[in-house]
Amino acid sequence: MSGLSGLSAAMGPVTFKAACPDCRARFELAASALRLAIGGSRRTTFYSFTCPECGRSVRKPAGERIVELLTGGGVSTLRSV
């Protein structure tokens, strides 16, 4: 995940750049295509999406900066204890 390509509703919808580790496709995803899980540790904090090219479910770790970008961009978030 490399960041936001849109910063506010005035500039258009927020999209996120992503890549699939399986088929190596690169693409942009809307916030609605991503899910963020925030757990109590680094191992349980991740984001996920389905690759639009190959259909694989992708799960990647989400550090502090990624969490900030995704939550600020309106990605659906699940928090666990």
Please check whether residue 48 is in contact with residue 57, taking contact to mean a CB–CB distance below 8 angstroms: yes
- What does the alpha-carbon distance between residue 27 and residue 49 come to, in Å, rounded to a whole number? 12
Which residues, at least 6 apart from 10, have a Cβ–Cβ distance to it below 8 Å?
none
pLDDT 10s digits, 29-63: 999 999 999 999 988 999 999 999 999 999 999 99
User: What is the CB neighbour count within 10 angstroms for residue 28?
Assistant: 12
- Running DSSP on this structure, what letter comes out for residue 10? G
Q: Give the pairing of strands 26-30 and 35-38.
A: unpaired
Q: Global pTM?
A: 0.80
Percent of the chain with pLDDT over 90: 75
Q: Give the pairing of strands 76-79 and 35-38.
A: parallel
